[in-house]
Structure 1
Amino acid sequence: MRSAVLFILSGCCLFIFTTCRNTQAPLQHTNNEPLTDLMEGNQRFATHHATHPHSSGERMKSLESGQHPPIAVICCSDSRVPPEIVFDQGLGDMFVVRTAGNLLGGLEIGSIEYAVEHLGVKEILVMGHRECGAVKAFIEGGSTPGHIRDIVDSIRAEQEISQIPANDKNLLNDCIQANILHGIHQLKKQSDMIAEKIREGKLQIHGACYDLSKGKVEIINE
């Protein structure tokens, strides 16, 4: 009798263990293009159907030996724009660089080069967002304390923004879009490594803008 009970219990445990394992999110990336995965994730997020993939203990353990994210995302430090949440992604899915105004300097570009050269990143997304405080500070002018001035001065120096007339009816949004395009152009011009990968057809760069009120990401074309 005791042996029969133990046999039944062991069978139940095996069933539960197998079921739990089968419900874990798959460890591999999908066959979609990386940007497609992100946009599908954003659709889930914006419609309140986020699945929070690749967040299990099994996923965490699988990444101990290294990372191979298929896409790098450059975006603003704004707390309202966390890319992993906005795109409904998980551990190891994106290589992320965040700065105020999604601005790029040597350290940031070096980080992206590392992702491309050593991690095998195939796509880069430069993402700004509506109501960007850094771009607003540039438009409003006035004095800015400390190193915040460096942020405003950097935006002011962007050629793409300098071409927008001050009386533009959609000034803020147009400047935000110009700032995104500047990031794309900057990566291509200031990184020989990135430019070469693009020429070889091994790397793509995209632009995008996040709408705070809708939770939606819009692709920005050059």
Structure 2
Amino acid sequence: MNRTIVDLLADNAEHAHAFAGRFDEVQEGQHPEAVTICCSDSRVLQDQLFGNETPGRLFTCGNIGNRVVQRTDAGEVVSGDVLYPLAHAGTRTAVVVGHTGCGAVTATYGALTGDLDGDDEPSGIRHCVDLLGPHLEPGVDLLPDGLDDAAAVDRLVEYNVDRQVEQLVNSDDVPDDTDVVGVVYDFQDVYGGERGEVHVINVDGERDPEVLRGEHGEVADRVRRLWTY
């Protein structure tokens, strides 16, 4: 057997031993507190970044670029995997989780600036970049002059989170009483806090840090943005 699978199964045995008694309350269904939409980057530990060890607490969605939309014959709509807990499990909190150094944003930035030939990518990856492209293109035009590529990407990470939050806030399919929060997970020392901290950048479409700190004083020290536009 592939050594990686052997190791994964061994780790799963430890997980099963530790968690065996934690599934009693969710045998018949789920009512998660929040749905999180994270990038599927292997460095983004979707449950661990929120300290979650409770089955049924978080409904986790992952894809490259932490996108909330999918493309259908009717155009772009909020993805079904994001909508499911909102529509069927009583969840009323959605958290869009971007992260520093995002590869999907990097690839989209490269495609928009002509530094990357997207035609060289497999069609599935091109599809994901194509979904992000129209949403990020206005942000590229707004970037301050003089940024290196890494700094530009981290600002576009915020811009992308803002656009995904906007999609949820404006969608008729998302219940009106849903709280939508946009955050950035930093493991590259970009925001100046601890590695692995989550920084709040957007709440229900509001992205002014001063306003957010005033309205959400209990988490004021976690509100931080790299740029406003």
Normalized against structure 1, the TM-score is what? Answer: 0.67
Report the Cα distance in structure 1 between the residues aligned to 2:47 and 2:146, rounded to whole angstroms.
33
Structure 1 runs of 4+ off > 6 angstroms? none
Report the Cα distance in structure 1 between the residues aligned to 2:146 and 2:185, rounded to whole angstroms.
21
Q: Residue 68 of structure 2 contacts residue 82 of structure 2 at CA under 8 Å; is this kept in 1?
A: no
Task: Say which is worse superposed, 171-180 or 99-108, in terms of deviation.
Answer: 99-108
1:74 aligns with 2:44: no
Could you tell me which residue of structure 1 aligns to residue 139 of structure 2? 161
Could you tell me which residue of structure 2 aligns to residue 134 of structure 1? 104
Q: Return the letter of the residue paired with 2:186.
A: D
Structure 1, unmatched stretches of 5+, are 1-51
Greater gyration radius:
1
Report the Cα distance in structure 1 between the residues aligned to 2:49 and 2:61, rounded to whole angstroms.
15
Q: Residue 30 of structure 2 contacts residue 89 of structure 2 at CA under 8 Å; is this kept in 1?
A: yes
Could you tell me which residue of structure 1 aligns to residue 94 of structure 2? 124
Q: Equivalent of 1:89, from 52, 60, 75?
A: 52
1:181 aligns with 2:162: yes
Q: Residue 76 of structure 1 contacts residue 99 of structure 1 at CA under 8 Å; is this kept in 2?
A: yes
Task: Say which is worse superposed, 129-138 or 106-115, in terms of deviation.
Answer: 106-115
Q: How does 1:1-222 map to 2 (within 5 A)?
A: 56-90=19-53, 91-106=55-70, 109-141=79-111, 142-144=116-118, 145-146=121-122, 147-158=124-135, 161-165=139-143, 167=145, 169=147, 170-189=151-170, 191-194=171-174, 197-198=175-176, 202-213=177-188, 214-221=195-202, 222=207
Name the SS for the 1:158 alignment partner. Answer: helix
Report the Cα distance in structure 1 between the residues aligned to 2:82 and 2:110, rounded to whole angstroms.
31
Q: Residue 75 of structure 1 contacts residue 99 of structure 1 at CA under 8 Å; is this kept in 2?
A: yes
Q: 1:168 to 1:111 in 2, by over 3 A?
A: farther
Task: Say which is worse superposed, 117-126 or 166-175, in terms of deviation.
Answer: 166-175
Q: Residue 124 of structure 1 contacts residue 205 of structure 1 at CA under 8 Å; is this kept in 2?
A: yes
Q: Shift of residue 78 of structure 1?
A: 0.5
Q: 1:168 to 1:83 in 2, by over 3 A?
A: farther
Structure 2, unmatched stretches of 5+, are 1-14, 71-76, 189-194, 208-229
Instruction: Please give the root-mean-square deviation of Cα atoms over the aligned residues, in Å.
Output: 2.2
Q: Shift of residue 64 of structure 1?
A: 1.2
Normalized against structure 2, the TM-score is what? Answer: 0.65
Report the Cα distance in structure 2 between the residues aligned to 1:96 and 1:151, rounded to whole angstroms.
19
Q: Shift of residue 95 of structure 1?
A: 0.5
